[in-house]
Structure 1
Amino acid sequence: MTIEVTIKLTKGHVFLTGESVECSISFSHQLSANHTISQSNSNTVENVAWGSVQIYCHCFTSPKVNKDNKLQSNDTPMFAGTSLAITPESGLTVFSTKPKILFCDLKLYPGQTKTYNYKEKIPNDAPPSYRGQLVKYCYKITVGTQRVNHPVKLLKVPIRVLPLIEVSMSDAGEIYNETTEELTPTNPFLEVRQNENPLNLALQTLQNITARRNPNFYMISNKRGKVARFCLFKPAYKLGEDIVGSLDFTVATVECMQLSVALQCQEEALGLQETKLHTFSRHHEVCFGFQHTQLVLPIPLHVTPAFTTKLVNLKWNLHFEFVTIASKKHETIKSPDNWQAPSEVAIETMVWTLPIRLYSTTPAYVAQGIQSNDIHTLFIR
């Protein structure tokens, strides 16, 4: 006889902190090939002793981070471990929900299925899912069950948790008014409802922040003069958006031959002089003689927005590299009628880093961009 345990994530596999994880958990008694009608019901009934479900977040750190930050004492977990952790895992459980008992002493007849709905909220201050070089945070839904006189079996389903900015109810009026003024037509009859869901308020604030266009201009210079004028059309972005900017070389007094711009996250272990850089999208262009150019950097859906925990601080930057001419005799002449390219050019490289703000987006959008199986099955024989 076989018991089939199935988890179906009804809202997908991506969630925001402060959001509720919802899934249905089914236990089914599968008919075996040699099952015959002549067998009595008493011989074919399967007894399942118990079923339980729990969500937990496991933290893995590099040896240096674990040693210098004393993870065991400083990052105290809500529970010392999960009650469903039959086999110990490496790392440390930094968050776990209270186990929920789905049933005790469940009897299943051949072909019968019992389905249970599970809903659990992820706290606002829980760490997000993250796979870095110094720290990793991994979330799983674990269903444990045991047939009578059989060992315990576990079905572990990975989920992804994104960080979300926190919004207090006292800020609701201001947020609603800003959003109304900027993103919707003025409505004098629109009032802030006091019972507005904090999660919806946070999502609305996120939309308001990332939709606002606020061009910022930066004069990029080295010790010899101006290299370019950079315009970033807005400072805050969501996952899946494109970072768009423009470069103006008409103001330059130093000729730029080529440039490279990369979307870069900076992973910093708190309390340590330890920083890791991760580069994602990159724009490279030979711009010798250009007056203007633009850059477009897509933000991948699989990256983690900026966040801070007791162990790590994650920030996002635009990292520029400019290759400029180091000698004036090779710089572009304004009227180059008979100008010929030199065989050798003395160059120098300068770097510049511009911080940006990167936020989460709606979980459904991330789930569509990153395909994942929302149904997971375990067979117990």
Structure 2
Amino acid sequence: MLEVIATLPRGPVFLAGETLCCNVTFTNSSADNQSAEEVLAWSSVQIICQCTVSESRVQLPRTTALSTEEASTTGCETSFVPNKGERGLTVLCTKPKILFCDLKLAPGATRTYQYEEVIPTDAPPSFRGQAVKYSYKVIVGTQRLEKTTKMVRVPFRVLVLFGLNDISVYNETEEIAPSNPFLNNSRKENSVLDVGLQEVISLYFIFIFNTDSYNIANGRGKVARFLLFKQAYKLGEDIVGMFDFDVGTVPCVQYSVTLQSEEKISEECRRKPGQGTAITSYVKHQEMCLNTLRTHMNIPIPLTATPGFMTDIVCQRWRLHFEFVTSLDKVDGPESVPADCEEHQWQGANTLNVETMVWDLPIKVFPTNPIHASSVTLMKTSALINMANG
């Protein structure tokens, strides 16, 4: 029995532009020394990205996708079709890399090969929306002599930081690099991960020092003032804001804040001209606030979410969705408690005449360190197949 195992040693999350490393191990698990050795004709590895869409909402232009036949011939000159059996359309197919030809394994023998491939910086991110889905896999194809091709599929996730160009511009040249006679001056080039994290931090700091104050009002007056300490966040961060109801003239009974993403299909890909935007809600903070002077909210951004991005098919943006329930009548609060009174009870009104107002505040969500995102993912880092003799 021959086993083929493909493993992603660093984890299943990568930043576009990084080098993906996959270890492929071939093992002849026959314990009987009298068994014949296993012979494999070849093995090849490559990366594909499949795009799956809701046919009731999206119609893809012919130029944005590769059919099964095209994917097998466009940069994929092997005898197996990597997207065979996959749903959707292939939007990315890297050139195949051959691991070996004519491999012989004696009973109990094991051979491990390392596959490395750079994920294109212009690749779409991994995304599971209501109308569009982008999914990545490492495909390992292996064939015995005169047998059918067997494939191992290892799914992984890609985070994209748009604007990340050639990393050579981030590496110091010898002319401008500082020199120290007491140190080894060998130049160390930045990795794509280092550059990507630097770029996230640079973009991040553009927004975090801008504390914004918003006056929330309706036709009857001012409801509250909302303070948001920054407008840009990374995956896994908490969105912290403060409400000041003391400045309001309209009594607010309850408020809620929901973290939402907007999935908007491009006009040329919409199935219907008047098609709306799909909204996905993630985390909700809700609080009763009648007679409250000040309070705050704290909403975590899931590490499993997809940062804002745009492709030829879909655009995703992030926002905070606010709902305020205000009273149409004046609500008297509790009276001041006398100093000599130990207990004081206030009974609110049984019914209130209320109305609801909504407000959407756009925010920016950037990728985080892919190693951090790997710590919470449910994706497996390895896959295995058994190649029977039949």
Q: TM-score, normalised by structure 2?
A: 0.83
Deviation at 1:310, TM superposition (A): 0.7
CA shift in 2, pair 1:86/1:8, >3 Å: closer
CA shift in 2, pair 1:19/1:84, >3 Å: same
How does 1:177-326 map onto structure 2 within 5 Å? 196-197=190-191, 199-210=193-204, 212-271=208-267, 272=270, 273-326=275-328
Deviation at 1:168, TM superposition (A): 4.5
Residue 117, structure 1, aligned to residue 109, structure 2: no
Residue 129, structure 1, aligned to residue 121, structure 2: no
Q: Percent of aligned positions with the same letter in both sequences?
A: 43
SS at match of 1:164: coil
SS at match of 2:152: strand
SS at match of 1:204: helix
| Equivalent in the alignment of 2:71 | 81
Runs of 4+ in structure 1 deviating by more than 4 angstroms, as ranges, are 168-173, 193-199, 333-340
Q: Is the 8 A contact 1:169 1:198 kept in 2?
A: no
SS at match of 1:203: helix
Deviations 1:162-217 (A, max 9, x none): 111324479968xxxxxxxxxxxxxxxxxxx9954454233112124335343111
CA distance in 1, matches of 2:129, 2:278: 9
Q: Is the 8 A contact 1:166 1:202 kept in 2?
A: no
Q: Structure 1: any 5+ residue segments left out of the alignment?
A: 174-192
| Equivalent in the alignment of 1:347 | 354
Give the counterpart of 1:102 among 99, 104, 108.
99
Give the counterpart of 1:166 among 163, 166, 189.
163
Q: Is the 8 A contact 1:78 1:95 kept in 2?
A: no
Which amino acid counterpart does residue 291 of structure 1 have in structure 2?
Answer: L
Q: Structure 2: any 5+ residue segments left out of the alignment?
A: 73-79, 171-186, 338-344
Which amino acid counterpart does residue 268 of structure 1 have in structure 2?
Answer: K
CA distance in 2, matches of 1:339, 1:7: 66
| Equivalent in the alignment of 2:55 | 63
CA distance in 2, matches of 1:10, 1:339: 61
CA distance in 2, matches of 1:314, 1:86: 26
Q: Is the 8 A contact 1:256 1:287 kept in 2?
A: yes
Residue 361, structure 1, aligned to residue 353, structure 2: no
Deviation at 1:316, TM superposition (A): 0.5
SS at match of 2:247: coil
SS at match of 1:95: strand
| Equivalent in the alignment of 1:21 | 20
SS at match of 2:374: helix
Q: Is the 8 A contact 1:84 1:142 kept in 2?
A: no
CA shift in 2, pair 1:171/1:221, >3 Å: farther
| Equivalent in the alignment of 1:379 | 386
CA distance in 2, matches of 1:345, 1:108: 79
More displaced stretch, 331-340 vs 98-107 = 331-340
CA shift in 2, pair 1:255/1:164, >3 Å: same
SS at match of 1:44: coil
Deviations 1:74-117 (A, max 9, x none): 41449922453373433100001011111111111111111111
CA distance in 1, matches of 2:240, 2:334: 29
Q: CA RMSD in A?
A: 2.4
Q: Is the 8 A contact 1:246 1:293 kept in 2?
A: yes
More displaced stretch, 81-90 vs 127-136 = 81-90
CA shift in 2, pair 1:353/1:25, >3 Å: same
CA distance in 2, matches of 1:284, 1:229: 17
CA distance in 2, matches of 1:85, 1:119: 17
Deviations 1:108-152 (A, max 9, x none): 111111111111011111001111111000100010101123221
More displaced stretch, 86-95 vs 104-113 = 86-95
